[in-house]
A and B are shown apart, each in its own frame.
Chain A
């Protein structure tokens, strides 16, 4: 609700002062993203200028000390971990929300929802720690070495599951009740109602949740750093150790200098690009096709 705009007719000078103060605050808040991009570009520019973009994909390996900057193993690492975790967390998260709304006995619904909310509140470093002391030895006993792509996928899946489940839960709660009544009047069974009526109607909310989860999976650093083994290589099996773009920044930033440091800012730019694309996609989905 807006009752005033910039052409306010108010006679009070304090009002004008207030408006400029508020505009100042908003300008700072809005400029942060621009500042982030500007600083990433500025720090990355030296290496981009005299090494070029192509060599980040064509160099034989990632050995920044020797001037070799191949980011592709880390890009694959990020991509594999993301796809794997989204593939696991999406069905589990959506089924969780379905459970809450249509299957759970009333006594269970509230505690279960609380549980998902608590799961969403656990910090990534705790997930990582648990993965390190419980999950990694477990995987190691099945198929050494233990720290692996699989460990990363499982931890990420547990981490993004609450995001997907809570978004799905919210969009199921927004279902127009007449849809359910219509389905009941047609004599549809429970699963047929969910598959034929609920899923299509809640589609955009479900997609938005999955995209938010994907964003978290791409950006996650600590948990994945702790369980993945951090060997720079393109993983060829689920049990291979690997390193993601985010983990690479966290590991090497401490001692990186010159071009090496700049190369890490290039990977920061790549991550930023991925996130902007995802935010755009989420925006497009939630605006264009609500209940479509």
Chain B
């Protein structure tokens, strides 16, 4: 009796640990397959000329120079708009509202929903609002503004946590010295909260750079070197999509572009988790 129970239990133990190991092996194998494939096919095409030359023959030949510039410009617009709004909102939520405050609660709830909005829906909105209603057309400006809506929730959450990590003593001492709240904020809280802000910034850049769907109908497809922010410009992720779907024979350059994008993103996410680990002493979940 005891023996059969023991054996039954051992069997289940064995089964469970086999399953767990198989799951882990499966995940690792998929990861290696995916990354290995991109490394293997992409590495041979990467060169300095590839990174700087303009694409030719619809991208089959040539490089990704103008596309990298467009990507950087879109990111610049995105951050230029989202950082002031995001930091302002984070300060208000962390320093100037109680948990019971209605305005604060509504803002938070609305940001929760915003972080879940599918990127293609953001693209629809960007097309209707920035391109049509505001008359910006297919442009780097429209694309950057659309992405700004997308990264705001990440940026705000991370910055807010940065402010909440500042010890209460700072605020009490400042109040006891009779400093104005503006002075306290600018000279004490903001410098102390910089790590949270930076983590949010880096995560936001990563998110924006990986985005494709929101950009198809906002920043457009044009692969020339952009001359102003009102020009259409093709982002790197969109370039990969276009080469693999619409350009027969574009796979080689698509592989190389994918490798560039993945390396950039790994570097960005690595920076974020390094910053979080060293300054905030916590782990971040990059979802």
- Interface residues, chain A, CB within 8 Å of chain B? 1-6, 8, 10, 12, 14-15, 18-19, 21-36, 39-40, 42-43, 91-92, 95-96, 98-99, 103-104, 112, 115-130, 132-134, 158, 161-163, 165-167, 170, 189-192, 194-195, 212, 215, 218-222, 225-226, 246, 249-250, 253-254, 264-265, 268, 271-272, 275-276, 278-279, 283
Contact = CB atoms under 8 A, between A and B. Distances in A.
A133 B164 contact: no
A212 B238 CA distance: 25
Given A1-B168, A130-B34, A32 B110 contact: yes
13 contacts: A23-B103, A24-B88, A25-B88, A33-B117, A92-B23, A96-B24, A99-B24, A103-B17, A121-B269, A163-B287, A219-B121, A249-B124, A268-B121
A40 B117 CA distance: 12
A52 B177 CA distance: 65
B85 to A, nearest CB: 5
B266 interface: yes
A132 B242 CA distance: 13
B23 A279 contact: no
* Main SS class of interface, A: helix
Contacts of A35: 125, 129
B114 A124 contact: no
A3 to B, nearest CB: 5
Interface in B184-201: 185
A21 B95 CA distance: 14
Interface in B113-127: 113-114, 116-125, 127
Contacts of B265: 121-123
B112 A265 contact: no
A275 B118 contact: yes
Nearest to B32: A115
B258 A126 contact: yes
Contacts of B216: 250, 253-254
* Main SS class of interface, B: helix
Interface of B: 9, 12-13, 16-17, 19-21, 23-24, 26-28, 30-31, 33-34, 37-38, 84-89, 91-99, 101, 103-104, 106-107, 110-114, 116-125, 127-129, 133, 149, 152, 156, 164, 168, 171-172, 175, 180-182, 185, 206, 209-213, 216-217, 237-238, 240-241, 244-245, 251, 254-255, 258, 261-262, 265-266, 268-269, 273, 283, 285-287
Contact of B118 (A43, A165, A191, A219): A219
A25 to B, nearest CB: 3
Given A1-B168, A125-B238, A221-B120, 18 more contacts: A5-B96, A6-B96, A12-B180, A25-B84, A91-B23, A95-B24, A96-B27, A116-B27, A121-B266, A122-B34, A123-B210, A123-B261, A158-B34, A166-B286, A191-B12, A221-B213, A246-B213, A250-B216
Nearest to B186: A18
Contact of B91 (A22, A42, A195): A22
Given A22-B91, A30-B106, A219-B118, A132 B244 contact: yes
Given A121-B206, A126-B38, A129-B240, A167 B182 contact: no
Contact of A33 (B38, B113, B180, B182): B113
Nearest to B93: A26
Given A5-B96, A19-B96, A212-B287, A118 B103 contact: no
